[in-house]
Amino acid sequence: MDNATIFLLIFGLSSKLPVADMLMVFGARFLIYLTFILMFILIFKGAVREKKALILAILAIPIVILLIKGIHLFIFEPRPFVNYHFSPLLNTEADASFPSRHASIMSAIAFSYTYFKSKWAPFFLLLMIWVGISRIYVGVHYPLDIIGGIFVGIISLILAKQIVSQIKLRFFH
């Protein structure tokens, strides 16, 4: 199956169950903000590994934005609702679809907690998957946008880790 076919299968599930639509719109729009709130709560409630993960994620997020801006200089994929002329379940700009900023940021967060072996890592990975699938379900991204976003998040995390090792932050060793 190709990217468009998988998109149409997932998006085709929308508008059939109001509860599913509500959960997916929540995941696509608001879950990233609740993830940030949880990260900052873990500063006070979490162990040292959660604090390290937060710092690494905070360093990785600006790198995510820079990488995406760089990709947009060379690749412009219109969003699905532009290509297929429909109204998505949530309003968003008709800007570049690839890669997904939400998926990139959630990936950087989830994998920073995974890197430090946080007990919260599985939960953040679940949130990452929820956001990714919901962005397809509501009609604002293709599956490859999400996969590309996950790779951008991983690359940004690797670059952030390199920066940390170059400036030799003792907190991370």
Separation CA 125–CA 104 (nearest Å):
12
- pLDDT tens per residue across span 61-110: 999 999 999 999 999 999 999 999 999 999 899 999 999 999 999 999 99
For residues 28 and 134, is the Cβ–Cβ distance under 8 A? yes
Q: Above pLDDT 70, what percent of the chain?
A: 97
Q: Which two tokens stand for residue 111?
A: 């994998």
Closest listed residue to residue 133, CA positions, set 19, 33, 1, 13: 13
- pLDDT tens per residue across span 100-121: 999 999 999 999 999 999 999 9
Going through the chain in order, the beta strands assigned E by DSSP cover: none
The pTM assigned to this predicted structure is: 0.93
Separation CA 38–CA 77 (nearest Å):
32
